Amino acid sequence: MDRNTLLLFLGIGAVLLLASLVGFILKRRSGDAPNAVIDNLNARINAWWVMVLVIGIAFLFGKTGVIVLFYGVSFYALREFMTLTPTRRSDYPALVAAFYFALPVQYLLIGIDWYGMFSIFIPVYLFLLLPILASLGGDTTRFLERASKVQWGLMIAVYCISAVPALLTLEIPGYEGRNLLLIAWLVIVVQLSDVLQYVCGKLFGQHKIAPLLSPSKTVEGFVGGVALATLVGALLCWITPFGFWQAAALALLVNLLGFAGGLVMSAIKRDRGVKDWGHMIEGHGGMLDRLDSVCFAAPIFFHVVRYWWA
C-alpha cells in the first residue's frame, strides 16, 4: 500500500475510534438497562472495525488479496441468496454450476485481466447454461421462476460484486499502481451514504420514501445522506484520478445507484418474508444486507471509469 492508502486507513481508524468513543459514552449514560438503539449502534461500530481490518489485510496482499477477499464475499452472498429461494432436486446441477464453476471462473478471469470475457461470461454464457442444466431434470413445476432466481442470484452476488476487484484491471494514465484507492473510494462513499441516510433519517426523518419496501427510509434521510456522502466523495478526489467536480458527479451517481439497490434488495426480502439476508455480521445482518448498495453501484462505476478514464 502506498502513502495515500495508509493515510486513508489512518483516517478511517480515527473516525471509527471517535464513533466507538461516542458509543461508549452513550452506553454509560444509559446505565445498565438494555437500550436497543445504542446496543445496535455499538454492534455496528464493532462490526465495522472487523470489516476495515479484513479489508486492510487484503490490501496488504495487493491484487491477489483483494480478489480472494471478494471471492469469499461473493460465495457467502450467493449462499445467502440461494438459501432464501426455494429450489427443487432438478435445480441442483444449475446450483453446482453457479457455485463451483461460474464463481471461480469469474474471479479467475478478473485475475488474468481478461476483460472481454469476464464482462460477458455470466450475463451471456451462464445465463444460457443454467436453465439448460435445470431443464435436464425434466421438472417443469415453476420452472421459469426457479431458473430466474438462480440467474438473478448469480448476477447480483457474483457478477455485480466482482466489479469491485475488477477495478484493479483498469490501466489509467498517471494513476498506475494506485487502483486499490479506487476500490477504497467506492466502498467508502457508498457505505457512508447508507450510514448517513440512517443518521439523517433518525434525526430529521418525517416522510417515508418507500414504506412498503423499507419503512425506516425517509425522504429527509435520503436527501441528507446522499448529499453529505457526495460531498465526502468530492473531498476525497485526492485519492482518485478524478477532479473535484468529476468525483462529486461520480459520488452522486453511485449513491443514487446504491439507494436503488437497497430498495430492490429490500423488495426481494419482503417477498421472501424476512427482515435480513442472514446473521453473519452482528448489527448489520447478512453479507447482502451490507453490500446491497455496492451490488448496484459497482458495475456501473467500473464501466464509467473504464470508458472515460482508462
pLDDT of residue 259: 94
Mark 98-124 as b/e (b = at least 16 C-beta within 10 Å): bbeebbebbbebbbeeeeeebbebbee
CA torsion sign, 66 to 72 to 77 to 81? Answer: positive
Specify the DSSP class assigned to residue 169: G
pLDDT of residue 283: 55
In 3D, which of 302, 46, 268, 285 has the Cα closest to residue 167? Answer: 302
Amino acid at 125: Y
pLDDT of residue 256: 96
pLDDT of residue 288: 87
Mark 129-145 as b/e (b = at least 16 C-beta within 10 Å): bbbebbeeeeeeeebee
Q: What are phi and psi of 23, to 5 degrees?
A: -60, -40
pLDDT of residue 9: 85
pLDDT of residue 217: 86
Provide the residue-wise pLDDT of the chain in tens; the chain has 310 residues: 677 788 888 888 898 898 888 888 877 787 766 777 677 777 778 878 888 898 889 988 999 999 999 999 999 999 999 988 778 888 899 999 999 999 999 999 999 999 999 999 999 999 999 999 999 988 888 899 889 999 999 999 999 999 999 999 999 999 988 999 999 999 999 988 988 888 888 788 788 888 888 888 889 999 999 999 999 999 999 999 999 999 999 999 999 999 999 999 988 888 888 877 777 666 557 888 888 899 999 999 999 999 999 8
pTM: predicted TM-score of the whole model, two decimal places: 0.90
